[in-house]
Structure 1
Amino acid sequence: MGKGGQGETNGVEVKRQLPEYTWEDIQDKTTNDNKWLVIEGQVYNITSWSRRHPGGPKVIGHYAGQDATDAFRAFHNDLGFVRKYMKAIHIGTLKQSQQEVKPIDKDFRELRDIAEKMELFKPSLLFFSLHLFHILFLDWAAWAVMYYFGTSWVPFLISLMLLTTVEAQVGWIQHDFGHLSVFKNTKLNHAFHYFSVGIIKGASPLWWNHMHYQHHAKPNIMDKDPDVRIDALFVVGETMPVKVAKERKKSMPYNWQNYYFFLLGPPLLFPVYFQIMLFKFIYSRKAWMDLLMVMIFFVKFFSLYTPLLGIWGALAFYFSFRCLESHWFTWVAQSNHIPMDIEFDSAQPWLQLQLNATCNVEQNFFNDWFTGHLNFQIEHHLFPTMPRHNLHKIAPLVKSLCEKHGVSYQVKPLSTAFADIVRSLKHSGELWYSTYQAYHATTS
């Protein structure tokens, strides 16, 4: 007998009445041995399925004991195809009296329906083709400048800036492929994701999926979003500094973090931390296809640049553009999130969850290009599969919906967004210090 409510008796298919559950039955099903969630009023046991989930076990596990309806719709383009796999884990229905949809959720779902009718999920292949072409052209130009003009300081620096631009921009377009927002065909998105993030950028697509999908599922949620799992070096938000101050007698001097951020944050994220985590992930998951893509990147890079610069010169060139690329990525990525709310999970509605954790940067041609359209971070988080060239079209409707429900919708100049990173680090560091002094003075 199947688990999806269908049985068979003497060759005749019969329907089995599925049980009803209350939220009290569901909310404590959050352990590795027993995980349930709710989608569109239906209850699913994801205990075993989470281990085989294409997006990784954690991204779906973060919604255990909660309503995952809007997250489910946000991450999947072909809902009909996905629902076929859900039949086997369908165990019941949420009790009818508890299926009432909150007004904020109802309005957001209507907004998504409007976006679909406006064809805002339809990608422009011309847009993405031009972006990919300009990346490939700059990649060639970075090598050609030193090949034709020598390796003196001027061509060296020009090549360095060109390759830094390539790596930053391919970071944005691989993000598009990773979110399945370029092609209707999922396999094509995956293929170009491997090409862009693997061969051009030298990173693991599976590692990116593992980290980034968790971030989108629960942005700025402590113990769930890996992007704020940084308390070994930094404390952020209002809750983390207090928690760390009370739990640890010895730790980093967080009250100085707004200063040492400039030494340990942007300069080292890509050249050191990401390099270590990348290979650690590949080895632990036995992701040999990802390893092959990364090796192709390194073979290509050193084959091109070692004849020009020698092995030590090529290594210096490599770590130089990684350091510059790291600055570019860190300032852009953190400007939308670090100054925002960072709390424990309280199962907030999708709109409120994403808006509490994200803000926008003003639109202009440079900001769109420089950030890969992640200046529309709010809209991207609400609709992660929407092609980035359409995010500005849905923005006015999102802002109107936020005003209706009293949800803060923040838009900043780029310079203010960058400065707010440092301001928020300073505030969180001071909060840690005052709590640490007060708490340990009374407990010592």
Structure 2
Amino acid sequence: MSIDIPTTPRGSLYSALSRQVKQAGLLDRRPGYYAAQIALVLTLVVAGVTALLVIGDSWWQLLVAAFFAMLSTQLGFLGHDAGHRQIFRSTRRNYRLGVALANLGVGFSYGWWVDKHNRHHAHPNDEDKDPDVGVGALIFTTRQARASGRIARRFYRYQAWTFFPLLLLEAINLRVSSLRYLLAGRDRSRSREALMIGLHVAAYLTAVFVVLPPGKALAFVAIHQALFGLYLGCSFAPNHKGMPPLSATDSADYLRRQVLTSRNVRGNWLTDFVLGGLNYQIEHHLFPSMPRGNLRRAQRLVKEFCADQHVSYLETGLFSSYAQALRHLDTIGRATAPSG
């Protein structure tokens, strides 16, 4: 299973940009880069497990739980790259790696995530087709605000304040959504995914509850899962929230649809690592199969091309991106307040 995004007809703006990117070799696979990335993350996993076993019965384990939250997110980033076929040319090899990383390594369904992420990439910020801006714990458009019920409106009115606290529950949401997806089908791949998640849960809980007494073990699990959800959510939040919503009726071509709905976060190599390359959201949406290690180089080409074509290209700081997203959530939340 992989993420495939349709392109526009030959001769379009996107085709012209794509030719430049291909000529620069930026769509070529980076086996050495990903070998180093995977080796680094696996080394950190070994270090985390070793710390858990060596420290033993101590409240210092809560720091290890926070370290595990970072590990879970970094494994998720690699699974994201596998889903976009950035790592291997073979769809099957990317799928196998993705399942190993997501299901066995983190404990959520790779198949569910790819299905959801497919729709997001194909229809970014389309409230009817993009699952990431559908009505749920948050709303993102005035139409959603007008359609919400009386009780929901009271909650949505303060959604900018509840955004970060809600991210602490994101790990639970991932697992509940994964379970629903796996139970909805009976094919062999879903059964294998369910088995891998079961192995993850069994190994994880056994290790934690064998090393720690029940109270500390529960605190470890709570800290790990809450910070994992927060870190993951904070990595994805800057990408599209607060950017213009588009629908199928809008006349924007593929290039404009992807660029105008995405926001980049400026930074350095540390930002690239912490955000898993998602800070180059514009380049990633234009070329989802581009290896993460090439995104920084591609940015210069894309940015210059957009300037030449008078296409708005938004890049901002990390904290500024959160401020923009929160202002948008607050504006939409206030639209639920009764008039007069």
Shift of 1:343: 3.6
Q: What SS does structure 1 have at the residue aligned with 2:335?
A: helix
Q: 2:6 aligns with which of 61, 66, 72?
A: 72
1:77-226 mapped onto 2 (5 Å cutoff): 106-154=12-60, 156-226=61-131
Measure, in 2, the Cα distance between the counterparts of 1:227 and 1:214: 9
Q: What SS does structure 2 have at the residue aligned with 1:130?
A: helix
Q: Which residue number in structure 2 is paired with residue 257 of structure 1?
A: 159
1:10-409 mapped onto 2 (5 Å cutoff): 71-73=5-7, 106-154=12-60, 156-229=61-134, 231-236=135-140, 240-245=141-146, 248-253=149-154, 254-263=156-165, 265-271=166-172, 273-286=173-186, 287-311=190-214, 313-347=216-250, 348-409=252-313
Measure, in 1, the Cα distance between the counterparts of 2:100 and 2:72: 13
Write the letter of the residue equivalent to 1:275: R
Write the letter of the residue equivalent to 1:245: R
Specify whether residues 377 and 420 from structure 1 end up closer, same or farther in structure 2 by C-alpha distance, changes over 3 A only: same
Q: What SS does structure 2 have at the residue aligned with 1:252?
A: helix
Q: Flag as ranges the 4+ runs of structure 1 deviating above 3 A.
A: 246-250, 310-316
Shift of 1:169: 0.5
Scaled by the length of structure 1, the TM-score of the pair is 0.71
Specify whether residues 306 and 413 from structure 1 end up closer, same or farther in structure 2 by C-alpha distance, changes over 3 A only: same
Whose Rg is larger?
1
Measure, in 2, the Cα distance between the counterparts of 1:308 and 1:259: 37
Shift of 1:432: 3.2
Q: What SS does structure 1 have at the residue aligned with 2:336?
A: helix
Q: Which ranges in structure 1 are unaligned for 5 or more consecutive residues?
A: 1-53, 61-70, 75-100, 439-444
Measure, in 2, the Cα distance between the counterparts of 1:380 and 1:427: 28
Measure, in 1, the Cα distance between the counterparts of 2:45 and 2:212: 17
Measure, in 2, the Cα distance between the counterparts of 1:330 and 1:345: 27
Q: Which moved more, 1:116-125 or 1:169-178?
A: 116-125
Measure, in 2, the Cα distance between the counterparts of 1:150 and 1:313: 11
Shift of 1:114: 2.0
Measure, in 1, the Cα distance between the counterparts of 2:303 and 2:39: 34
Measure, in 2, the Cα distance between the counterparts of 1:224 and 1:256: 25
Aligned-residue sequence identity (percent) comes to: 25
Specify whether residues 232 and 182 from structure 1 end up closer, same or farther in structure 2 by C-alpha distance, changes over 3 A only: closer
Contact residue 240 and residue 263 of structure 2 kept, 8 A: yes
Shift of 1:312: 5.3
Shift of 1:247: 6.3
Write the letter of the residue equivalent to 1:352: R
Q: What SS does structure 2 have at the residue aligned with 1:224?
A: coil
Measure, in 2, the Cα distance between the counterparts of 1:267 and 1:244: 24
Q: What SS does structure 2 have at the residue aligned with 1:181?
A: coil
Contact residue 233 and residue 252 of structure 1 kept, 8 A: no
Measure, in 1, the Cα distance between the counterparts of 2:148 and 2:278: 35
Structure showing the higher strand proportion among its residues: 1
Measure, in 1, the Cα distance between the counterparts of 2:262 and 2:144: 23
- Deviation track 1:189-233 (CA, whole Å, cap 9, x = no partner) reads 11111111111111111101111111111111111010011x243
Shift of 1:168: 0.9
Scaled by the length of structure 2, the TM-score of the pair is 0.91
Specify whether residues 243 and 195 from structure 1 end up closer, same or farther in structure 2 by C-alpha distance, changes over 3 A only: closer
Contact residue 108 and residue 197 of structure 2 kept, 8 A: yes
